[in-house]
Each structure stands twice: as structure tokens, then as C-alpha cells.
Amino acid sequence: MDRRAIKFDWNRARAFLVTAEEGSLSAAARALDMTQPTVGRQISALEKELGVSLFERTNSGLVLTQSGTDLMAQVKVMGNAASTLSLLASGRAETLEGSVCISATEIISAFILPPIIEKLRKQWPKIEIEIIASNDTSDLSRREADIAIRNYRPTQQELIAKRIQKVKGHLYASKSYVQNMEQRKSPQDLKESVFLGIDRSNSIISYLKKFGFDLSSNNFPIIVANHLVQWEMVKYGAGIGFMMESIGDAEPLVERVLPSFPAFEKETWLVSHRELKTSRKLRVIFDYLACELSN
């Protein structure tokens, strides 16, 4: 390797990465604790250095160009490596101890967190972890949890939030259930299908209506507030339910109800209270979770 030929500036790459993740220069500036013009200059310098345009400016904000999308994949790997290096440099297990409470949905707690927590405990065995597995929102300002993993962007100004990734989801049903369906091509084919709801409100009906589904409360004869129980019912043929793509596609008992229908997307956010800025323990665990969840 010719190290003299490497002139890539990580600060410029980081400015590009955070801007792409946050969606705007102003949001990236806040996340990086910089001024907006400084972030803009770093991105412009990176574009000049690479000889490509990374963003298109539209009425709805910044949109990655194809060159930007290609670069994003590589820079994200660099970002994860930088986070890991930072964690290692900040100290190992013998200097990090105490309890950390993490709030996450039932599905994330059951399917996503176990291997992450197992690795975390190996690296920092003196850290005690408490998991609040609930679809209810923990009040971080009242210290009901130290760190929360959420499927929406928090609105409270006193919270610190980092967007991790966009999670794809689909409608799933058991293989025996879909075998009895005549058509599975469009939302209109599901007008007479059985869906599993989480409550008696019309929130799911309203949400699906945006995507062309014509459903009513009659389509939701089964209400299960617990998503883990609901998923078990989906697996064994009770009806149709939502699940994350990575979990649903890996389950042999189910399949996508509408195979050609685009995925439903939700953002995943990692959130903490202001103590994150002064607590080394929380900062290390927060950065570790951000790194693991973005992989």
C-alpha cells in the first residue's frame, strides 16, 4: 500500500455521512456540533476531491445522487470502524461499570438485542443491563430508561437522538393461510382477509389506507396488544400481521402476503437524555448500540 497516495479526509467523509443520515445540512450541523456553512464546505471539498456530485438539492431537501449512494455504503463502513476504534480507545471492561437501562419494542428486544447484548457483556462484563421490552414509550426525561430504541424521531428538545437506519417491513401470514387466498397481487385482493390488530383504534386502518388498502374494523376480529403473541398467531394461521423484513423472511412458517408490494419503511432512532454528554458509561454504550444496530 502506498500510504503517501492516501489523501482521503475523514472529517469531510464524516460530514457527508452525517448529512446523508440526517437529511439536511442544518441537522448534520447540530449533530456534529458545527456551523452549517462548515459542514457545507466540507462536503463541497469532498465533492471536488472526488470529482463527483454527492447530493441533489430538491424542494424536499437533499437527495443522494447515484455517486453519493455508492459512496455512502463505503463511508458507513468507515464510520462503523471509527466508532469501534473510539470505543476501544475510550477504555476496556475493567474501567467501565454500572447499570444501563435500555428501552425497546417487544420485537426488537426479542429478536434484535440478544446477540448485541451478549457481545456487549463480553466486552464490558461489569456493565449491568436492564431491558424494558415494551411498545409503550419510556419517559427518558424522568429516567424511566437511559437509552431507548424507537421507530420514530423524538420531538423533545432535551433528548439526544441519532438516526440509525431505515427498517423495512411487510405483511406476513402463515403458508397455510396464503394457500387459501385466490389473489395476492394488490391491496384490493385483501379486502376480505383477516388482520391482527394491536388495539381498537383505527390507526392501522388509516395507515394502510395511504397505501391503497380498503379495510374496516371487520377485517380486525383479533386484537393482540403484545407483538410477540401476535406474531405467534400469525405464524400459526390466525391472520395477517406486520413484521420486520429481516425477521419475517427468516421464519419458515410464514411468507409475504403481497410478494411484489413495496416494503413499509420506518426509521430507527437511538435516543438518550442529556446525561449522555457527561456520562462516559452511557456514551460508550450508546455508541456501541449505534454501531451494532446500523450493521
Report whether pLDDT(12) > 90.
Answer: no
- Would you place residue 239 in the very low, low, confident or very high pLDDT band (cuts 50, 70, 90)? very high
Grid coordinates standing for 100? 444501563
- Would you place residue 24 in the very low, low, confident or very high pLDDT band (cuts 50, 70, 90)? confident
Distant-in-sequence contacts of 219-222, Cβ < 8 A, 24+ apart:
219/190, 219/191, 219/192, 219/193, 219/194, 219/195, 220/194, 220/195, 220/196, 221/194, 222/194, 222/195, 222/196, 222/197
Tell me the longest C-alpha to C-alpha distance in the chain: 68
- Would you place residue 106 in the very low, low, confident or very high pLDDT band (cuts 50, 70, 90)? very high
More confident residue, 7 or 181: 181
What pLDDT does residue 70 have?
Answer: 85
Q: CB neighbours of 92 closer than 8 A, spacing ≥ 6?
A: 123, 124
Domains detected in the chain: 3-89 (1.10.10.10), 93-164+267-293 (3.40.190.10), 167-265 (3.40.190.10)
For residue 214, the Cα-to-chain-centroid distance in whole angstroms is: 28
Write down the mean pLDDT value for the chain: 87
What pLDDT does residue 148 have?
Answer: 93
Nearest Cα to 81, choosing from 2, 14, 152, 149? 14
DSSP annotation of 254 reads E
Residues 163-206: pLDDT tens digits? 988 899 999 999 999 999 988 999 999 999 999 999 988 899 99
Report whether pLDDT(286) > 70.
Answer: yes
- Would you place residue 92 in the very low, low, confident or very high pLDDT band (cuts 50, 70, 90)? very low
Report whether pLDDT(149) > 80.
Answer: yes
Residues 64-80: pLDDT tens digits? 888 888 888 888 877 76
CA atoms of 218 and 202, how far apart (whole Å): 11
Residue identified by cell 431507548 is: 148
Nearest Cα to 173, choosing from 232, 223, 240, 249? 240
